[in-house]
Each structure stands twice: as C-alpha cells, then as structure tokens.
C-alpha cells in the first residue's frame, strides 16, 4: 500500500549529505521536525523546520540526554494510522503524525576504539536515537525509518522516483535494516561491559568481504571483519577463503619469533621455517625445508623485504606474501606476476578468544598464547640438553605449536627439516617427518624433535633415536611417560617436558 510522507523527524549526529535530503523534503512540501544541532544545520540552509522542543513544550534537558523521549514524539511515530482509537488519541492530545524518521546513533564503537575514558564512552551510548529507530521500525506499516548514513542513497531514490510516497516493501526493507543497526549497536555495548563473562556469546560483524569462493569453487565464501586493519593489499588478485585461513595461521606462527624469520605455509601448516641474521638466508633455508610443498604457498616474514631476497623469492610460484615492509626495488620485482598477492602488514594482534561454528552452535576458547621459554622446561632425563640444544628445542616447539595435530617437527640449526602434520597416529606423524627430512637431503643426526602432545608409548622415542635425533621436547602427561624417559636414558638422549599441550585442529 502506497503512503504519502507528509512529515519527517530528523535527529542525526553526522550531517554528511543531509543537505541533499532536506532540500528534497522541502521540494516535496514535507514538514520537518528536528532537534538541537540538526535543527541549527537545517535552519542554516534557509529551510523551515520545527524544533522538537516546541512540539513537546519541554526543553532538551540533562545536558542533551533527554530530547525526543516524549509522548508527542513517540505517539506520532507509533500510532497505527488505520486504528480509529489511535487516531482519536492523536487528535485529543494534539500529536502530529510522523511518517519519516531519519536518525543515526552516537559513535559508540569508534569512541571505544579511540579512548579509554569511561565517562566519554558512556556518554556515547545513545538512548533517544535507538528508541526512535526501534519505534519507527516497529511501525513500518506506516513509517519509513532511515537509521544510518549509508541508507541515504536509497531514501533519495525513493523520494525522487515515488514523489514522496512509499510502499510496504520499502518500509519493511528499511525496518529490517533498522533492527540490524540497533542489534549491532546493542551488541557492541554489551561486549564492552561483558569483558570477562563466559556464559554468553554475542558477535555482530557487518560489511562482509565477498571472497572469490569458499573452501571449494562450488561454495560461496564471505569474510566478516576488517582486513584493512591487518594489512594493505599492494598487488594481486582478490583474497580467497583459503587465503584467509592461511594468513591467520601464518600470522600466529610468525608472531612467536623475535629474530629474523621466514615461513612458508600450505593448508595452515608450515612447510618451511628458518631463522637467520640475514633475511635472504632465512628465505633460502625455509624454502629448502620442503621446496615441493612451497609451490603455491603463503609466505610470511617479520622483516622488511630487500632486493636480494625478492630476487630469490621471485623464482618460486607462490600465492601470497605478507611482510611488514618492502624496499621499492623489491616490490617492483615481486609485482612481476599480476595475480601474485602482495600484502603489507600493519600492527595487529589476534583477539584473545577464538570461536567457530560447530554442529548447531558455536565453540569458543581462549587463544593458545603460551610460548615456552627456557625456564618452562623440565629436564626429565639423566642427560641435560646443552644451551644450544635448548635454543633449538624452543625453536622447534614454536613450530609444532602451530602445526595441525597429531604433529611432530624436526629441526636443526633453526631450520625446519621435516614435519608430520594432521596424522591420526603420533607414530605416523613422526614417520612422515623423518621421511620428508631425508627426502630433502637433511642429515638429522643431532637434530631435535618437538611433539605437540605426549607420547603414549616409547615407540616414537625409539624411532627418533634410530633416525639420529638426540633430544626431544614434549608436554609430558602420559601415564607411561617413564617408558619414554627410560628409553632416552638407556640411549644417551635428553628429553624435556613443557607441561603444556598444543593440540591444534
């Protein structure tokens, strides 16, 4: 059903593009009611408007906290035009009908992001605006609600094409947008107050990035979040669903390293990692870890890419590179392939909690923030690892922490030599790691081994010993830990327990 818009209430925080709308309302002879700064803006354009204060006979009070909360405002919005009783009451109390409400909300999220001043944050919790939005949206059968600046184009098109009329489809569509705005706003406020509670899960993420596809080409994919806060894309094709997962894993891994490090990932797992004083050397060592899997991989480093490193990297076909900086000549080299995705990392830290959908709900957990240091290690064998071995064990443990379970990692001289990832058996993971290390020409005599979880039997330790591995880092915690310790003691191996398991699924 088409309805003529005869009156409008406007109360907005941002005045951007408001001039175009109020001039159109004036042209259509739509009466305007307004508040405070919005009234001043409209009057400044030479356009007639009525103050809400003159409608209600009450001034704005409590420092502007109460302006529109009045029956003469909400009665005009909520009245059902087809209800004789409602119409009689409007006439009795001299309440004008309000057919269009244009309102936005105080910038609560932006305030939280830019200040820790609680008083300033609390003052940005909108009361009148959110009430107007809900009231107008509830009465969508009679009222048009514009609840955000990004809806102005639709309103302008509606006013022009329908000459100041609206139909039920228009009004219901705007109402849906309004309830989205109000629910998102309330969720942001709730999460501000709900920092430490764990019995409620609420998230509201807007403006999705439409990815090329989902995990596979026949699946749709979207990302809800702000990738621009994490990196700037300097070159290449659009990011895919799988790219986002790999980037998440890559950032988690590289952030555990302080020294110059390069890592190569495929399907969320590292296939090459190395730390070296020079970045070019770190790249070459990382690539040597598994040059086959590196093809089409995701590259990440914690150092600025220089020309020499870029020349070496450019020899490989890869999907993405993420770095905190690129020298100009390095960037030009890397841009030689048009689809290659080049990302400039910004300061970013993962949220402290993780969640994902499972069954008909969501599972949530604290992020694994534990990165072991030398003081965390407990030597459980007769032989203690040397200082250099301790450093190597900690290096290996950082990698295994970020490898899919069951996971085994073998490293030597701060270089990933072989890994077994995502295996159903820890023994199989170890066999895979040994096989890959040998396949790529590594001498793993004297190498170290890291396991993401305990060894339920001593068979893995025996396999490691037979391959030439001299020292092992693992969480411990098996009822048969002593079997593995005894084997190490009998074969002059050292082993340390961390006390922390690092399953990753």
The residues assigned a catalytic role are: 138, 267
> Is 490 in a helix, a strand, or coil?
helix
Structure tokens at 427: 């023994």
Residue 4 structure tokens: 């003529």
For helices 459-466 and 481-490, what crossing angle results, to 10°? 30
Determine whether 199 is exposed, middle or buried from the number of CB atoms within 10 Å of its CB (0-12, 13-18, 19+).
exposed
d(CA 367, CA 351): 8
> Residue 324 in contact with residue 347, Cβ under 8 Å?
no
Q: Is the Cβ–Cβ distance between 23 and 44 less than 8 Å?
A: no
Q: Could you tell me if 50 and 32 are in contact, meaning their C-beta atoms sit under 8 angstroms apart?
A: yes
CA 269 to chain centre: 20
Contacts of 166 (CB under 8 A, 6+ apart): 2, 3, 5, 144, 158
Count of other CB atoms within 10 angstroms of residue 469: 23
76 contacts 94 by C-beta, under 8 angstroms: no
CA separation, residue 76 to residues 56, 81, 100, 375 (Å)? 11, 10, 10, 69
- CB contact at 8 A, 123 and 31: no
Q: 212-241: buried (b, 16+ CB within 10 Å) or exposed (e) per residue?
A: eeeeeeeeebebeeeeeebbeeebbeebbb
Residues 16, 123: Cα–Cα separation, whole Å? 22
171 phi-psi bin (left φ>0, alpha ψ -120 to 50, beta other)? alpha
Query: Can you read off the two tokens belonging to residue 39?
Result: 């009234």
């Amino acid at each position: 059903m088409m309805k003529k818009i005869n009156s409008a209430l406007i109360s907005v925080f941002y005045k951007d593009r408001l001039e175009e709308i109020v001039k159109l309302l004036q042209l259509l002879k739509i009466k305007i009611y307004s508040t405070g700064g919005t009234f001043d803006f409209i009057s400044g354009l030479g356009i007639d408007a009525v103050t809400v204060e003159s409608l209600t006979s009450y001034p704005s009070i409590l420092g502007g906290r109460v302006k529109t909360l009045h029956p003469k405002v909400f009665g005009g919005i909520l009245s059902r035009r087809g209800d004789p009783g409602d119409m009689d009451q409007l006439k009795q109390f001299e309440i004008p009908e309000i057919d269009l409400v244009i309102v936005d909300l105080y910038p609560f999220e932006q305030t939280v992001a830019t200040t820790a001043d609680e008083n300033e944050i609390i003052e940005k919790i909108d009361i009148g605006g959110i009430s107007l939005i809900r009231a107008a949206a509830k009465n969508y059968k009679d009222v048009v609600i514009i609840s955000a600046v990004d809806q102005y184009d639709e309103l302008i098109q509606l006013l022009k094409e329908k000459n100041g009329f609206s139909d039920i489809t228009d009004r219901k569509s705007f109402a849906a947008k309004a309830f989205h705005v109000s629910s998102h706003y309330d969720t942001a406020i709730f999460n501000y107050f709900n920092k430490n509670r764990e019995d409620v899960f609420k998230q509201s993420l807007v403006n999705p990035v439409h990815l090329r596809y989902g995990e596979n080409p026949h699946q749709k994919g979207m990302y809800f979040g702000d990738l621009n806060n994490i990196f700037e894309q300097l070159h290449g094709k659009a990011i895919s669903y799988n790219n986002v997962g790999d980037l998440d894993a890559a950032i988690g891994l590289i952030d555990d390293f302080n020294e110059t490090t390069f890592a190569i990932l495929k399907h969320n797992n590292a296939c090459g990692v190395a730390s070296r004083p020079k970045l070019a050397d770190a790249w070459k060592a990382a690539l040597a870890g598994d040059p086959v899997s590196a093809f089409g991989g995701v590259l990440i480093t914690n150092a600025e890419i220089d020309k020499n490193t870029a020349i070496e990297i450019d020899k490989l076909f890869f999907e993405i590179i993420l770095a905190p900086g690129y020298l100009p000549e390095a960037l030009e080299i890397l841009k030689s392939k048009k689809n290659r995705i080049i990302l400039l990392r910004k300061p970013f830290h993962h949220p402290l909690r993780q969640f994902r959908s499972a069954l008909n709900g969501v599972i949530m957990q604290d992020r694994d923030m534990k990165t072991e240091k030398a003081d965390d290690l407990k030597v459980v064998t007769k032989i203690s690892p040397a200082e250099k071995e301790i450093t190597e064990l900690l290096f290996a443990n950082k990698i295994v922490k970020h490898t899919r379970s069951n996971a085994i990692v073998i490293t030597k001289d701060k270089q990933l030599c072989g890994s077994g990832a995502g295996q159903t058996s820890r023994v199989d993971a170890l066999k895979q790691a040994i096989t890959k290390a040998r396949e790529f020409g590594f001498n793993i005599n004297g190498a170290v081994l890291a396991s993401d979880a305990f060894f339920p039997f001593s068979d893995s330790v025996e396999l490691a010993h037979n391959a030439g591995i001299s020292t092992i880092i693992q969480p411990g915690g098996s009822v048969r830990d002593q079997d593995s310790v005894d084997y190490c003691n009998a074969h002059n191996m050292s082993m340390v327990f961390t006390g922390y398991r690092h399953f990753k699924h």
